[in-house]
């Protein structure tokens, strides 16, 4: 079975259903893209790691990583094995560094597998049958799947409350210092979607003001 390596290209709001997101994977040695619909919790878990944000307390996937490493186990790779009736199937391939040549394969939801892959910084693979079924060629790429944001930021639609309302309420744009305070408040409240959104605003504000 020939494995095809993928890279995580983007997270975007999905037009397929409400409160869902598309994680877009692309062939490393090809042009096809593989959009996979995931829930908001899994999208948040992936986005937080991509943003390198540090939650006040570990999220479920972070706890899993901590436990695995406590027992000397590393995630070698994620393999997306099948696509049946719109559902993707994935395997986690685990290894123990001191036992070369030995590995364990565990079935997992693809969304969870991807959230763990970004935390272990391990490669993501699939097979030709999956890409043939779910992959989209460049000329077929529909606007419905075009990413609304790159992997460097959380999709704007993940949280529609907080910063924008606060700015409208005052009639003035919040200062960077005020936004930084809101960021800290959001982190303390463990509202990571809002925190990521505020962080993006801070970075954009600094770019707009020439690095203030």
User: What does the domain layout of the chain look like in residue ranges?
Assistant: 3-154, 159-208
Please tell me the least confidently modeled range out of 42-56, 138-152, 155-169: 155-169
Strand partners, 110: none
Residue 39's pLDDT band (boundaries 50, 70, 90)?
Answer: confident
Residue 148, judged by CB atoms within 10 A of its CB (0-12, 13-18, 19+), counts as: middle
Residue 85 has a pLDDT of: 86
Cα separation, 89 vs 82, in Å, equals: 5
Residue 118 has a pLDDT of: 95
**Residue of 197, 151, 203, 162 whose CA lies nearest to 26:** 151
Q: Tell me what the mean pLDDT of segment 20-41 comes to.
A: 88
Query: For residue 110, what are the CA distances in angstroms to 33, 46, 146, 147?
Result: 16, 12, 20, 19
Residue 202 has a pLDDT of: 76
Strand partners, 147: none
**Residue of 46, 57, 35, 55 whose CA lies nearest to 154:** 46
Q: Tell me what the mean pLDDT of segment 46-55 comes to.
A: 84
Q: How many CB atoms within 10 Å of residue 64?
A: 17
Helix (H, G, I), strand (E, B) or coil at 138: helix
**Residue of 68, 148, 72, 137 whose CA lies nearest to 106:** 68
Please tell me the least confidently modeled range out of 92-96, 130-134, 157-161: 157-161
Considering 86-100, 157-171, 180-194, the range whose residues carry the highest mean pLDDT is 86-100
Q: How many CB atoms within 10 Å of residue 131?
A: 20
Who has greater pLDDT, 135 or 15? 135
Long-range contacts of 96-104 (CB under 8 A, 24+ apart): 96/72, 97/72, 98/72, 103/76
Residue 198's pLDDT band (boundaries 50, 70, 90)?
Answer: confident
Tokens of 117: 């892959």
Residue 174 has a pLDDT of: 60
Helix (H, G, I), strand (E, B) or coil at 155: coil
Q: Does domain 3-154 have CATH number 3.10.690.10?
A: yes
Pair 135, 34: CB distance under 8 Å? yes
pLDDT tens, position by position, 52-109: 888 888 889 999 999 999 999 999 999 999 999 889 999 999 999 888 889 999 999 9
Average pLDDT, the chain: 78
Whether the model clears a pTM of 0.95, i.e. scores above it, the answer is: no
């Amino acid at each position: 079975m020939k494995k095809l390596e993928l890279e995580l290209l983007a997270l975007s709001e999905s037009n397929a259903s409400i409160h869902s997101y598309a994680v877009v994977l692309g062939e490393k040695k090809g042009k096809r893209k593989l959009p996979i619909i995931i829930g908001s919790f899994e999208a948040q878990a992936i986005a937080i790691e991509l943003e390198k944000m540090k939650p006040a307390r570990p999220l479920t996937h972070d706890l899993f990583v901590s436990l695995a490493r406590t027992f000397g186990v590393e995630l070698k790779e994620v393999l997306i094995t099948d696509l049946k009736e719109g559902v993707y199937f994935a395997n986690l391939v685990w290894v123990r560094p001191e036992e070369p040549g030995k590995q364990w394969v565990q079935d997992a939801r693809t969304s969870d597998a991807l959230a763990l892959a970004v935390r272990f910084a391990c490669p993501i693979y699939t097979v030709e049958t999956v890409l043939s079924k779910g992959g989209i060629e460049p000329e077929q790429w529909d606007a419905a799947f075009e990413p609304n944001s790159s992997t460097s930021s959380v999709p704007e639609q993940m949280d529609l409350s907080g910063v924008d309302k606060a700015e409208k309420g005052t009639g003035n744009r919040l200062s960077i210092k005020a936004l930084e305070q809101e960021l800290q408040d959001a982190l303390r409240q463990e509202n990571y979607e809002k925190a990521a959104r505020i962080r993006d605003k801070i970075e954009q504000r600094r770019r707009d003001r020439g690095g203030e």
